[in-house]
């Protein structure tokens, strides 16, 4: 589910964005940086999971599988897209390699590692 700040809701709705959002499908952060959804977080690291999945999807837009290290701090789709664009614009910054074989029984944990963000008040 997506997440956002309560202070932004009126502005988003007025501009025609997030019209289908609700506490059922969005995680809402209040003015005091607390999650206001009655059920709270579904996972302790829900924000990290969301941002990680966003980054994986944004990197996939490069058109080839990404093998490497990607680190970000509070990035979003725009910054991720700009990063991919900058990477691809410098031919010396990447290599395209052929896989030597098919990997079987892969799990997401084989490819993605995250550390908790200690700067996020809701992660403490």
Pair of tokens at residue 99:
């896989």
Active site residue 17: no
Residues 16, 22, 24, CA angle at the centre, nearest 5°?
Answer: 150
Collect all residues with Cβ–Cβ distance below 8 Å to 27 and sequence separation of at least 6.
1, 2, 3, 4, 35, 37, 41, 46, 47
| d(C-alpha 106, C-alpha 111), whole Å | 8
Task: Find the catalytic residue in 1, 11, 77, 85.
Answer: 77
**Active site (catalytic) residues:** 77
């Amino acid at each position: 589910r997506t997440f956002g700040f309560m202070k932004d809701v009126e502005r988003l709705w007025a501009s025609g964005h997030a019209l289908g959002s609700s506490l059922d499908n969005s995680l809402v952060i209040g003015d005091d940086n607390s999650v206001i959804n009655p059920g709270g977080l579904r996972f302790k690291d829900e924000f990290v999971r969301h941002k990680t999945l966003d980054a994986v999807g944004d990197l996939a837009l490069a058109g080839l599988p990404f093998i490497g290290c990607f680190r970000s701090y509070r990035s979003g789709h725009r910054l991720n897209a700009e990063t991919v664009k900058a990477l691809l614009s410098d031919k010396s910054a990447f290599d395209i390699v052929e896989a030597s074989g098919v990997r079987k029984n892969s799990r997401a944990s084989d490819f993605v590692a995250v550390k908790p963000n200690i700067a996020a008040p809701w992660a403490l």
